[in-house]
Amino acid sequence: MRNFKFELAELLSDKITGLSQDEIVAMIEVPTNTAMGDYAFPCFKLAKELRKAPPIIAKELAQSIGQIEFITEVQSVNAYVNFFLDKKLLVKEVLNKVLTEGENYGIASTKDKGNIVIDYSSPNIAKPFHIGHLRSTVIGNSLYRIFEALGHNCIGINHLGDWGTQFGKLIVAYKKYSSKEEIEQKGISELLRIYVLFHDEAKENPEMDQEARDYFTRMEKGDAEALDLWRWFKEVSLNEFERVYNMLGVTFDSYHGEAFYNDKMDASIRELEDKGLIEISEGAKIVRLDDENMAPCLITKKDGSSLYATRDIAAAKYRKENYDFKKCIYVTALQQNLHFAQWFKVIEKLEYDWSKDLVHVPFGMVSMDGGKLSTRSGNVIFLEDILKDAVDKTRSIIEEKNPQLPNKEEVAQKVGIGAVIFDDMYNNIIKDIQFSWERVLNFDGETGPYVQYTHARACSVIKKSGLDLENVPHFSIDYSVISDNATVGIIKELAEFDEVIQAAAANYEPSYIARYAVDLAQAFNKFYHDNPILVEDENIKNSRLAVVIATKYALKNTLYLLGIEAPVQM
C-alpha cells in the first residue's frame, strides 16, 4: 500500500532545507478536525532558520507546492500547511490492500523475523490461580499473537512455580490432615485448605517448619516418596489450571517450570564464581549490585539452597541456548520489578550481550468492586469463578435481549470471557484496574462486547446481502460512490492497523490494539449509520459491501490479537 504521509514528506524535503525526510514524517500531524485537511505540516520549527514568522513561512510553502498527484488541495492556515488527500485514491489503496490480504489482514504469513520467548501466566503449584495470574495470562497471550503477527516465531513458556519449601509444607500437611481420596475429590481447594491449616498450626509448633524443610531437602536429594507426592500435587494443580486455560483459549509451547532447572543451577553458580562475581555474606552467596544502587542478588541461602533468582538465571541461559531468542519477555506484576532488575544485571555482569534482550513487562493490580464477586469455592481458582460469572451474566443478557439467538451457550462463552479479557487490556497495562461488572459487560461502552457486536453486525449485513461469509468474492468497486466523510473515516482507521500492531509490539502494550478495536468499531458504526448498504443500486451496494467486508476482517483480527473470539452472530 502506498504510504501517502511518507510520499508527502519526500516531496516536502525538496522544498525545505535543513530537515530530512524522516524528520518531516515525524512532524506531519493528522488533524482531528477533517476540515483542516488530512495532513498538516507545522512551520514553527523553521522560523529560526528562515528568520520569518511561521504563518508567512506556511503561506510561502503552500504557494511553492505545485500539483501533487494524490493531493487535491493545499491550504495555509496560520502556521500550518494543510493537505487534502485525494479520497478516491485513498479508499482504493486501502480497500485493495485489505481485501487482498483478506482473512490475514495485518497478520504475517511467514515467521522469518526470529524467535521471541514469552514467559507468562506462570502460576504457583498448590496455590490459587489468582486475578494477577489472569492478567499475566491474557497479556502474555496477546503479546504472543502480536509478535507472531509481525512475523516472529514465539515460544510461550509457562514458568510454573513448582519448586520450593512450600512443597515440604504441603507434604507434612498432607500426612497430617488429608488423604488421597480427599485430594482426588477436591483438588486444589483441598491442597489450599491443608496449606492454610499448616500455617496456622506451625505458628504454635515451629518444629513443623523444620519438618517441612527436612522434606524439601529430601526432595532436593531425590527422595522417591517425597518426589512422588510432589509430582502428584503438581498434576492435580495443573489439571485445574488447564480448565482455566481452556476457557481462555490459551496454550503454551512449554511447561518447563522452576523445578526443571534443578540440575542446571550448579553450572550457573559455578560460572558466577569463576567470573569473580560471588561474594559470601553470612554464609549466603550473593552478587553485589551496589554500583547499580540495588540490593544484592541472592544466589544461594546459608543452607546452600537456591532461590527464585537462581532459577531465573539458569532458565534464561537455557532459553538462550535452546531458542536463540531475539527477545525474552517476562510478564508479571509490577511488584516483581526489583527481582527482574537484579538478575538482568547479573546476566549483564556475566557479559552476555543478550542481557539487553531480556524484557520485563510489568502490570498493575486488579481490585474488585463492592465485594460483589463472591467466590463459590472459597477463594480457590478465584479466576474460574469470575469467568463463569461473566458467562452466566452474558447468558442472561442474551436471554433478555435476543432469546431467539442460535448457539446461545457458545456465544455466551465467547462474549462473557472476551469481555473480561478485553477489560484487562483496555488501559495501559501498568495501571491498576478497579474491576466492575457494569463496565465489563456494557454492550455500548468501550468494551469487548461492543467490538464483538460490531463485528457480528458486519457479518450479518454480509450474510443478508446473500454473500457467503466464508468465501467472499472480489467484485468491482466504484470508488466515486464511497468517498463521503464517514467512509473515509473508517478507511483511514483501516489503514492504521499495521502501524498500531507495530506500536503495540514496540511498547509491549496490547492496550493499543484494544483502543484501536474500539476506534475501528466506532468508525464503522458511523459509516453504517450514514450509508445504507443493501440498496437497490448494485454499484453502490457492492462498493459499500466491500467496506463492510474489509472492516469485518480487521475487527476479527484485532480481537484475535487480544485473544478474543469473534462470533458471527450475537
Q: Which residues are catalytic?
A: 127, 130, 133
Cβ density class 302-326: b for 16+ within 10 Å, e for less = eeeebbebbbbbbbbbbbbeebebe
The DSSP call for residue 123 is P
- Of 336, 310, 313, 288, the C-alpha closest to 135 is 336
Least Cβ distance, residue 285 to ligand ARG (angstroms) = 19
Q: Is 145 in the site for ligand ARG (CB under 6 A)?
A: no
Least Cβ distance, residue 121 to ligand ARG (angstroms) = 8
Q: Output 208 or 307, the one with its CB closest to ligand ARG.
A: 307
Least Cβ distance, residue 332 to ligand ARG (angstroms) = 5
Q: Output 358 or 398, the one with its CB closest to ligand ARG.
A: 358
Q: Output 159 or 552, the one with its CB closest to ligand ARG.
A: 159
Cβ density class 412-426: b for 16+ within 10 Å, e for less = bbbbbbbbbbbbbbb
Cβ density class 478-506: b for 16+ within 10 Å, e for less = ebebbbeebbbbbbbbbbbbbebbeebbe
Q: Output 93 or 119, the one with its CB closest to ligand ARG.
A: 119
Q: What is the 3-state secondary structure (H, E, C) of 270-319?
A: HHHHHCCCEEEECCEEEECCHHHCCCCEEEECCCCCECHHHHHHHHHHHH
Q: How many CA atoms lie within 13 A of 52 on its CB side?
A: 12
Burial class (CB in 10 A: 0-12, 13-18, 19+), 522: middle
Q: Is 332 in the site for ligand ARG (CB under 6 A)?
A: yes
Q: Is 330 in the site for ligand ARG (CB under 6 A)?
A: yes
Q: Is 234 in the site for ligand ARG (CB under 6 A)?
A: no
CA-to-CA dists, residue 122 to 252, 311, 322, 435, 563, angstroms? 10, 13, 20, 22, 18
CA–CA separation, 147 and 561 (whole Å): 9
Q: Output 355 or 465, the one with its CB closest to ligand ARG.
A: 355
Q: Is 268 in the site for ligand ARG (CB under 6 A)?
A: no
Least Cβ distance, residue 157 to ligand ARG (angstroms) = 8
CA–CA separation, 226 and 216 (whole Å): 8
> Applying CB under 6 A, what is the total number of residues that bind ligand ARG?
9
Contacts of 528 (CB under 8 A, 6+ apart): 457, 461, 548
Q: Is 317 in the site for ligand ARG (CB under 6 A)?
A: no
Least Cβ distance, residue 426 to ligand ARG (angstroms) = 23
- Of 184, 185, 211, the C-alpha closest to 198 is 211
Q: Is 362 in the site for ligand ARG (CB under 6 A)?
A: no
Q: Output 122 or 166, the one with its CB closest to ligand ARG.
A: 122
The per-type count for the chain, helices as H runs and strands as E runs, is: 21, 12
Binding mask 363-402 for ligand ARG (x = CB under 6 A): ----------------------------------------
CA–CA separation, 319 and 504 (whole Å): 24
SS3 state at 105: coil
Residues 98-137 touching ligand ARG, rule: CB under 6 A, are 119, 122-124
Q: Is 161 in the site for ligand ARG (CB under 6 A)?
A: yes
- Of 502, 516, 505, 506, the C-alpha closest to 559 is 516
Q: Output 104 or 336, the one with its CB closest to ligand ARG.
A: 336
Q: Output 132 or 168, the one with its CB closest to ligand ARG.
A: 132
Q: Longest Cα pair distance anywhere in the chain, in angstroms?
A: 88
Q: Output 364 or 445, the one with its CB closest to ligand ARG.
A: 364
Q: Which of 159, 414, 544, 556 binds ligand ARG (CB under 6 A)?
A: 159
Q: Is 198 in the site for ligand ARG (CB under 6 A)?
A: no
Residues 273-312 touching ligand ARG, rule: CB under 6 A, are 312
CA–CA separation, 415 and 434 (whole Å): 20
Least Cβ distance, residue 124 to ligand ARG (angstroms) = 5
CA–CA separation, 172 and 512 (whole Å): 48
Least Cβ distance, residue 562 to ligand ARG (angstroms) = 21
CA–CA separation, 378 and 32 (whole Å): 50
Least Cβ distance, residue 316 to ligand ARG (angstroms) = 8
Least Cβ distance, residue 308 to ligand ARG (angstroms) = 7
Q: What is the 3-state secondary structure (H, E, C) of 442-477?
A: CCCCCCHHHHHHHHHHHHHHHHHCCCCCCCCCCCCC
In the complex, which residues of this chain contact ligand ARG (CB under 6 A)? 119, 122-124, 159, 161, 312, 330, 332
